Amino acid sequence: MKKDFTSKNDSSQIIRGAKVSVRNGDVNGALRTLKKILERDNRQRELAKREYHEKPSIAKKRNREMAVKRTRRENTDFATLQRQSNPPGVGWNKSKRKRRRVLDAKTKFNRILNRRNDD
């Protein structure tokens, strides 16, 4: 009779297994499928996060930095992105670097608008 060595207090951290069947002896294909399943479920990231102990103060700091980053991204002022382009009929962006910066700002603005319209 085998003994059950699982901790009774640690039942919330049980990682459920993912099941992949090997068809026609294609182990590599099954392995690829398993990796995709694990990646979609963020299990690899979870395991990497739990590999070393993270002090609570550092976890709070990381969460705070992620929240600041998220709010900055959400509160991007679209009017400033539009203002970076040339007014009609004005060709004062003579250097290639300035033209490239304006073009990048326009494409970024259009990409963000398209993303918002898709939602």
Chain segment 47-81, per-residue pLDDT in tens: 888 888 989 999 999 999 999 998 888 887 665 66
Do 85 and 96 lie in one domain? The reply is yes
CA angle in degrees (0–180, nearest 5) for 89-106-100: 80
Could you give the number of structural domains in the chain? 2
Q: Specify the pLDDT at position 92.
A: 63
Do 70 and 95 lie in one domain? The reply is no
Answer yes or no: are the C-beta atoms of 112 and 76 closer than 8 Å. Answer: yes
Boundaries of domain holding 58: 24-75
> Would residue 32 count as lying in a domain?
yes
H and E: helices and strands count for the chain = 5, 0
- Cα 45 from Cα 36, distance rounded (Å): 13
> Would residue 69 count as lying in a domain?
yes
Nearest to residue 116, comparing CAs of 86, 84, 74? 74
Do 55 and 82 lie in one domain? The reply is no
Answer yes or no: are the C-beta atoms of 106 and 70 closer than 8 Å. Answer: no
> Would residue 102 count as lying in a domain?
yes
Chain segment 2-24, per-residue pLDDT in tens: 666 665 555 455 556 678 888 88
Do 62 and 87 lie in one domain? The reply is no
* Helix (H), strand (E) at residue 30: helix 27-40
Answer yes or no: are the C-beta atoms of 15 and 42 closer than 8 Å. Answer: no
Average pLDDT in the 82-97 region? 62
> Would residue 113 count as lying in a domain?
yes
> Would residue 1 count as lying in a domain?
no
pTM of the model: 0.36
Residue 95 has pLDDT above 90, yes or no: no
